[in-house]
Amino acid sequence: EAGVTQFPSHSVIEKGQTVTLRCDPISGHDNLYWYRRVMGKEIKFLLHFVKESKQDESGMPNNRFLAERTGGTYSTLKVQPAELEDSGVYFCASSPITGDNWPAEAFFGQGTRLTVV
Amino acid sequence: RKEVEQDPGPFNVPEGATVAFNCTYSNSASQSFFWYRQDCRKEPKLLMSVYSSGNEDGRFTAQLNRASQYISLLIRDSKLSDSATYLCVVKGGGGNKLTFGTGTQLKVEL
């Protein structure tokens, strides 16, 4: 079974440009998360989709970031316009919705390494 | 203050050694606790969940102290392949998101 896949693996863009990151979760996983790791810092939550709905977007840094998950399958995260401080590794994770209260394991993609110059 | 605090290390230990990592969390409403492992330039992968009664998985033992808001991971008989960054992760207390520590780096040497 394919894991969480992210594209591209690396992206180098100039300040002011637009970049779109894509995440394909594990098939059947309704929960989809975006996280980001800025160099030297911990991995931080950006937002959470349940199917196509945004459940929690409290971690989104500002309105230059737009996440979508049309149809409840893959998700995109667009940064427009990109700033230097947006550089980092963007991880996507997915998990199934479980019927009980026990949290399901979140599986992470390999990440997109974004460098804004 | 960070929500999840870990000693960044690195911990350099010889093969066969026992090593322990500690972690504290600030949100007393946290409900679920995990240790993830991250290899260099790779994604985090779940190592083990941490249960209130403590739990063991082979050479790995995890403990949780809710009163002290403290989580630990013990690795016995370290292997070279255990070299990685170990991430303390907490969930709950408002939403489904995972809150990560900065990670503790372990290097197991010959």
The residue type at A107: F
- Assess whether pLDDT exceeds 90 at residue B24: yes
Q: Chain B: give the shortest CA distance to residue A31, in Å.
A: 9
Count A/B contacts: CB-CB distance under 8 Å.
Answer: 51
- Assess whether pLDDT exceeds 60 at residue A101: no
**Residue A48 near residue A55, CB atoms below 8 Å:** yes
Mean pLDDT of A18-40: 95
Mean pLDDT of A71-98: 95
pLDDT of residue B90: 94
Percent of chain A with pLDDT over 70: 95
Mean pLDDT of B10-21: 97
- Closest CA relative to residue B46, chosen from A117, A93, A98, A22: A93
Please report residues of A whose CB lies closer than 8 A to that of B102: 41-42
pLDDT of residue A103: 60
- At residue A104 the predicted structure's pLDDT band, cuts being 50, 70 and 90, is confident
Please report residues of A whose CB lies closer than 8 A to that of B47: none
pLDDT of residue A58: 93
Mean pLDDT of B42-50: 95
- Assess whether pLDDT exceeds 70 at residue B59: yes
Mean pLDDT of the residues in chain A: 93
Strand order in the sheet with B19-25: B4-6, B19-25, B70-75, B60-65, B55-57
- Option in B92, B97, B102 nearest A45 (CB): B97
For chain A, the helix, strand and coil percentages under 3-state DSSP, each to the nearest 5: 5, 50, 45
